[in-house]
Amino acid sequence: MRLFISIILLLSAACKPYDQKRGRELLAATEAHPYFAFPTGNIELLNAGGETNFFARTNLERPWQSGAFGCVRNSRTRFHEGIDILSQVRDAKNEPIDKVTASRRGKVVYVNRNIAASNYGKYVVLIHDADGLPAYTLYGHLRSVEEDLAMGYTVEAGEAIGVLGRTANTRDAIAQWRAHLHFEVGVQVNSKFDLWFATWYKDSDNHHGNWSGLNLLGLDAAQILKLSKSGQFSLKEYLMSLPTLCRVTVFQKNLDWIDRHPELIVNSSKGDGVPIAWDLELNYNGIPIRITPRRGEVESGGAKYQIIEVYENVLAKHPCSGLVFRKGQKWIFTGKGKRLMDLLLFR
């Protein structure tokens, strides 16, 4: 049936090709649903005090916030990239049977059916065109994935992609009461991650290609779902509204990130000539939320990049960031921060 529908769609709509220059998947038709919709029937988040019945806390002694996005784990020192949405529908054995659906029209870019290969267990990744910007959604810990769901297939908003579950390759299994969907909305750092991986991890295997968790930076999916429900969500505006953790000058003319996110460039008309460097504003998760071109002479001192400023109030509010630290009077990147910058600069 899915194959039949795919053929009909291909015959009825002219698909735009993959744009190599900008590195994004362009979806042919105008989306019927222009926002991100809830991926399961659980919409308790919209009700006053409904968070308790929406988020799957890490254990019964923890508050609901432990299932939310951000610095919510290990006394706020560990980052949670997505949100955990509780099951609402059970079978006779009390196992979850909630249907998981595509949050937005998109293309299937990765399907993992091998539980042992990931902390996410069985999971699916979709790529979306969100206001001209590429964004991904990830659906993790699935009990099952639709049998005929395959990479390259276009799904409509609300189309079934699997069943909520509790699959994972972690030592401690996800408890039955805590069965949930790990849901992410975010951005991909570099479209050439699979090539970069071999340069950074020379003795390791990349099991998930360009859709490895190392290459995905999450946003607050709960916040995005609520804004979308109210009809007030724009990905560009949302990204640019995020607090800046630090500003970094990158002494490189071309960046994969800029090729795919030119809409995030500000002050592009100032100065003459081609930019020879860029100032990136990173949020606490490392996402370049604002890009300013640098023209004319720029002194690099032989460095690939340089931290210009760190906003300590943002760092204090998000202690799990782990990207920068102060050494004497100077701010420098941690190992995690250096890895991110190396990935951002890779071409």
Q: For position 3, what pLDDT does the model report? A: 46
Domain match, 308 and 179 both: no
DSSP classification of residue 45: G
Under a CB-based contact definition with an 8 Å cutoff, are residues 85 and 40 in contact? yes
Instruction: Report the pLDDT averaged over residues 44-68.
Output: 97
Domain match, 109 and 210 both: yes
How far apart (Å, rounded) are the C-alpha atoms in residues 234 and 236?
Answer: 6
Instruction: Report the pLDDT averaged over residues 142-146.
Output: 98
Q: For position 232, what pLDDT does the model report? A: 87
Task: Of 53, 80, 77, give the one whose Cα is nearest residue 64.
Answer: 53
Domain match, 117 and 48 both: yes
Of 172, 195, 229, the last residue of a domain is 229
**HSE-up (13 A, CA, CB side) for residue 136:** 28
Of 194, 229, 264, the last residue of a domain is 229
Q: 266 or 269: whose pLDDT is higher? A: 266
pTM of the model: 0.89
Residue 271 has pLDDT above 90, yes or no: no
Any domain includes 167:
yes
How far apart (Å, rounded) are the C-alpha atoms in residues 326 and 335?
Answer: 13
Any domain includes 235:
no
How far apart (Å, rounded) are the C-alpha atoms in residues 250 and 293?
Answer: 10
DSSP classification of residue 31: P
Domain match, 115 and 252 both: no
Q: For position 131, what pLDDT does the model report? A: 86
Any domain includes 234:
no
Any domain includes 8:
yes
Of 198, 229, 260, the last residue of a domain is 229
Any domain includes 237:
no
Domain match, 34 and 86 both: yes
What digits encode the pLDDT tens for the residues 84-134? 999 999 999 999 999 999 999 999 999 999 999 999 999 999 999 998 999
Structure-block tokens of residue 151: 């990479």
Hey, what amino acid is at 179? A
Domain match, 287 and 207 both: no
What digits encode the pLDDT tens for the residues 206-263? 999 999 999 999 999 999 999 999 998 999 999 999 999 999 999 999 999 999 999 9
How far apart (Å, rounded) are the C-alpha atoms in residues 105 and 273?
Answer: 39
Four-residue CA torsion sign, 287, 260, 194, 165: positive
Residue with tokens 């930076």: 217
Under a CB-based contact definition with an 8 Å cutoff, are residues 314 and 243 in contact? yes
Domain match, 85 and 43 both: yes
Concatenating the DSSP letter of every residue in 176-239 gives GGG-EEEEEEEEES-TTHHHHHHHH-TTS--SSGGG-GGGEEEE-HHHHHHHHHTT---HHHHH
**HSE-up (13 A, CA, CB side) for residue 229:** 13
Under a CB-based contact definition with an 8 Å cutoff, are residues 80 and 69 in contact? yes
Any domain includes 163:
yes
Total of domains in the chain? 2
Q: For position 34, what pLDDT does the model report? A: 64
Under a CB-based contact definition with an 8 Å cutoff, are residues 140 and 95 in contact? no
Domain match, 38 and 103 both: yes
CATH number at residue 11: 2.70.70.10
Cα angle vertex 186, ends 33, 113, to 5°?
A: 90
Instruction: Report the pLDDT averaged over residues 149-169.
Output: 97
Q: Which of 75-79, 169-173, 267-271, 283-287 has the highest mean pLDDT?
A: 283-287
Domain match, 144 and 291 both: no
Residue with tokens 């990147």: 333
Supply the range of the domain harboring residue 221.
Answer: 2-229
Domain match, 202 and 69 both: yes
Domain match, 91 and 119 both: yes
Hey, what amino acid is at 151? M
Q: 215 or 269: whose pLDDT is higher? A: 215
Domain match, 185 and 332 both: no
DSSP classification of residue 85: E
